[in-house]
Amino acid sequence: MTFPDIDTLELLFSWGTDIKPYVSLRVITADDYKAITGEAYVAPTTQVTTTSTTN
């Protein structure tokens, strides 16, 4: 699998594409993300859902 370079990601971002996943994939750094978007990268968080079963 080939990943886009930073110039391509800049173009994709200008078209409205979310480029956050590319930070998680380590294609770009958080600093690259900030340079492209102008915003600091905030890693996504996940919520753990627990289910209680009582009889």
Say how far apart CA 15 and CA 3 lie, in whole Å. Answer: 17
Rg (CA), the chain: 16
Query: Can you read off the two tokens belonging to residue 1?
Result: 């699998």
**Number of domains the chain is built from:** 1
Domain hosting residue 25, numbered range: 6-37
Task: Tell whether 23 is covered by a domain.
Answer: yes
Q: Domain for residue 55, yes or no?
A: no
Is residue 19 within 8 Å of 11, Cβ to Cβ? Answer: no
At 46, the pLDDT band (50, 70, 90 cuts) reads confident
**Is 30 inside any structural domain?**
yes
User: What gap in Å lies between CA 16 and CA 51, rounded to an integer?
Assistant: 37
Q: How confident is the model at residue 22 (pLDDT cuts 50, 70, 90)?
A: very high
Average pLDDT on 32-47 reads 92
Q: What is the pTM of this model?
A: 0.75
